[in-house]
Structure 1
Amino acid sequence: MRSPAPATARIHVVGAGPGGLTCARILQRHGIPVTVHDRDAHPRARDQGGTLDLHADDGQIALREAGLLDDFLRLARPEGQEMRLLDPSGRLLDHHVPAEGELHKPEIDRGVLRDLLLGSLEPGTVRWGSAVEQVTGPAGGPRRVHFRDGTSIEADLVIGADGAFSRVRPAVSSAAPRYTGVTFLEAWFHDVENAHPGLAALVGQGGATAADGDRALFAQRNGGDHIRVYVIQRLPAGWIAASGLSAGDTAGIRARLLDAFSGWSPDLLRMITGNDGPYVDRPLFALPVPHVWARSSSVTLLGDAAHLMPPLGAGANLAMLDACELALALAGCATVAEAVAAYESTMLPRAAETARALEHGAEALLERHESGELAAFAPPHR
């Protein structure tokens, strides 16, 4: 089959996260029709996660191409770039306070960013409750996209923007995410200035972290007077059940954490003793490095579907840059096949280079910090 021109191709994006929505927005700005599929029943079906720092040299580039950079800067929190590095005794080792006008990586809540992107799309672009099960068909296309409800559609290009456990990825790659051996336990704190003033003062307007070599705590201010804490530990997969606990046993998990963090400052222990609601178990997975596949003119991947890495600030930024470059390639090439080739020739080497740099990043989060190390510290972002 001859590869179609992008303007007449049936392009379907799977996943309405930052990457998928950015791709759709830029395609529409160039007059290229696109449909986005997402398994969620509606935009508010689940929590979108914590805050992101969007970098001037990738995420913000994508927003500029999407025509949304000024809107983003109005919504972002530059003060969120503040960072405090502590030791387990609570002693302040390093402290970065952003300069006035510093916009290298301002923070924005994932939900706020998603709303910005969704609001920029043509009505009906996203099909909610459209859960993809698999993609079949020849590499040269057309492909058939199969949905959980038993229906299917034909597509000239399927873009997998559906995250770590992508349903699109198996159409081009047999690779599967592997557990890194490091896990996050997420805790939420609401109305922090009134209900958790000690924690609010400790964290400031950005983030605060401490580590002892085996475990770490990272707290990060979110919008709306919320803080999310990530308890970072080196543990086997399924450790909660193996400990005789369940995910909903907040008291039991808290007791285990207090034992693990015995001897840490009471100020820091606020991060694991006063949370509002249950903990959320978030084991960290990563794809093999490098992750490559035989090129197909009818399926490609972006973001975590293409290059899942430890959450050290690169994920959403790379996903949005991928999305931007793929959309611009489709806008500038004569055929879909040429666009996919141009996109992957840039994206795959960049992803491999970044993945190698972050390959052991999950372990690095546990390393004991020293004074003056903040410049090299990459805080986790989920």
Structure 2
Amino acid sequence: MTFTGIAIAGAGLGGLACARVLQLHGLDVTVFEQEPAADARPQGGTLDMHGDTGQVALRTAGLYEQFQASARPEGQQMRALDPHTAEVVLDEIPAEGDDFRPEIDRGQLRGILLDSLSPGTVRWGRPVAEVTATGDGARLTFADGASQDFDLVVGADGAWSRVRRALTGVRPEYSGVTFVEFGLDDADRRHPALAALTGQGMLMTKVDGKALIAQRNSNGHIRCYATFYAPEDWAVGLDFADTGAVRTHLLGRYAGWHPGLLAYLRENDGEFAHRPLHVLPVPHAWTSTPRLTLLGDAAHLMPPLGVGANLAMLDGTELATALATAPSVGEAVRAYEAGMLPRSIEAAKACASGLHDLLSDDLKSMAA
């Protein structure tokens, strides 16, 4: 196949994995990202890379050894506590040599992918405004009004994908569940009791449709989430820049829980962040179009239960491999979508069920 160029909208994990494998095969690719720089914002918490999805993608990308150097197998520990007594109900410690789902910070993983690309592959500060199919390709129109044509445009631009608009027009819907994110810095030194309570991986406690989740990240950071059912407008009038007001609200919402667990809310460092969970309908599919396709959250936004990043990276590497081996762009896109769509539909169904398990009263149900 002869390419005049492939464009990827979005420099998240899936888009970067796709670009990496395309370059390994000598194909011309450019990644367009709306953020002005790689370090423009925090990249989120820790991810478990699954042996049958995310790690497969890393091996295809030739980056498995770099991943292993930063991965934390001990982060697979999962602990559940009773919300009223703080008694440990479940404590799963990974066996020696168990590396099926080791943890790695999202920022570290993104850095590995970025460092693997040729200089200039990612064009920072280039938000996509519109995507249109042309007779023999696709056109990207940028926010500044400039446009450029490509053989193929890949939508790796996340939950609110602009590329998706050109294929399905479907928008994410609120799931009925919200996360409030906060963190503890240098926890082993500054918050030793909470560091010990958290363990080396994830801690969860829950009851009555509410959960508290704490996850070890690298460098002693613990990232936490207050998770609960709520109407979409529950936070109207609550200023998330007012840490004291948000803390007071959450302490009231979690009233009656053990003081040792409420300490996560009381001792947080910095601001709270509102993360309402949106999802795409299940199934989400489209009529295959030879010059446009989607991967990751743009294709199958689902609750964040340890699946999305793994699927995004597998999507990206499988699409790139298809483009490098199929006789035409259209055949590559069809082959990729024929595998990706059924897989993502099944995963989205499981995550929808898992989200409700996450907020059930079954303390041994570790859906997160």
Shorter chain as normaliser: what TM range? over 0.9
Q: Name the counterpart of 1:240.
A: 235
Residue 202 of structure 2 corresponds to residue 222 of structure 1: no
Quick one: distance in 1 between partners of 2:168 and 2:136? Answer: 16
Q: Name the counterpart of 2:45.
A: 50
Q: Name the counterpart of 2:350.
A: 357
Q: Name the counterpart of 2:109.
A: 113
Shift in Å, 1:239: 1.6
Deviation track 1:165-189 (CA, whole Å, cap 9, x = no partner) reads 1111011012110000100000111
Aligned pair count reads: 367
* Aligned mate of 1:36, from 13, 31, 38: 31
Residue 185 of structure 2 corresponds to residue 190 of structure 1: yes
Contact conserved, 2:296 with 2:315, CA < 8 A, in 1?
yes
Quick one: distance in 1 between partners of 2:270 and 2:235? Answer: 17
Q: Name the counterpart of 2:120.
A: 124
Shift in Å, 1:255: 0.9
Shift in Å, 1:299: 0.4
Contact conserved, 1:85 with 1:369, CA < 8 A, in 2?
no
Contact conserved, 1:156 with 1:298, CA < 8 A, in 2?
yes
Shift in Å, 1:213: 2.8
* Aligned mate of 1:84, from 79, 86, 110: 79
Quick one: distance in 2 between partners of 1:318 and 1:355? Answer: 11
Quick one: distance in 1 between partners of 2:266 and 2:102? Answer: 29
Contact conserved, 2:204 with 2:366, CA < 8 A, in 1?
no
Contact conserved, 2:205 with 2:212, CA < 8 A, in 1?
yes
- Aligned AA for 1:321? L
Quick one: distance in 2 between partners of 1:103 and 1:111? Answer: 20
Contact conserved, 2:131 with 2:141, CA < 8 A, in 1?
yes
Aligned to 1:239, what secondary structure does the other structure show?
Answer: coil
Quick one: distance in 2 between partners of 1:240 and 1:189? Answer: 23
Quick one: distance in 1 between partners of 2:332 and 2:3? Answer: 14
* Aligned mate of 1:298, from 282, 288, 291: 291
Bigger drift between 312-321 and 147-156 goes to 147-156
Bigger drift between 357-366 and 58-67 goes to 357-366
Deviation track 1:347-380 (CA, whole Å, cap 9, x = no partner) reads 111111111122233222111124xx3xx5232x
Quick one: distance in 2 between partners of 1:104 and 1:181? Answer: 31
Q: TM-score normalized by structure 1? A: 0.94
Q: Name the counterpart of 1:377.
A: 366
Q: TM-score normalized by structure 2? A: 0.98
Aligned to 2:327, what secondary structure does the other structure show?
Answer: coil
Deviation track 1:313-372 (CA, whole Å, cap 9, x = no partner) reads 1100000111111011011101111100100011111111111122233222111124xx
Quick one: distance in 2 between partners of 1:141 and 1:176? Answer: 27
Q: Name the counterpart of 1:154.
A: 149
Aligned to 1:240, what secondary structure does the other structure show?
Answer: coil
Contact conserved, 1:34 with 1:125, CA < 8 A, in 2?
yes
Quick one: distance in 1 between partners of 2:48 and 2:367? Answer: 11
Give every structure 1 segment of 4 or more consecutive aligned residues whose post-TM-superposition deviation is greater than 6 Å: none
- Aligned AA for 1:155? F
Residue 137 of structure 2 corresponds to residue 142 of structure 1: yes
**Mapping 1:147-296, distance limit 5 Å:** 147-241=142-236, 244-296=237-289
Structure 1 stretches lacking a partner, 5+ long: none
Aligned to 2:162, what secondary structure does the other structure show?
Answer: coil
Structure 2 stretches lacking a partner, 5+ long: none
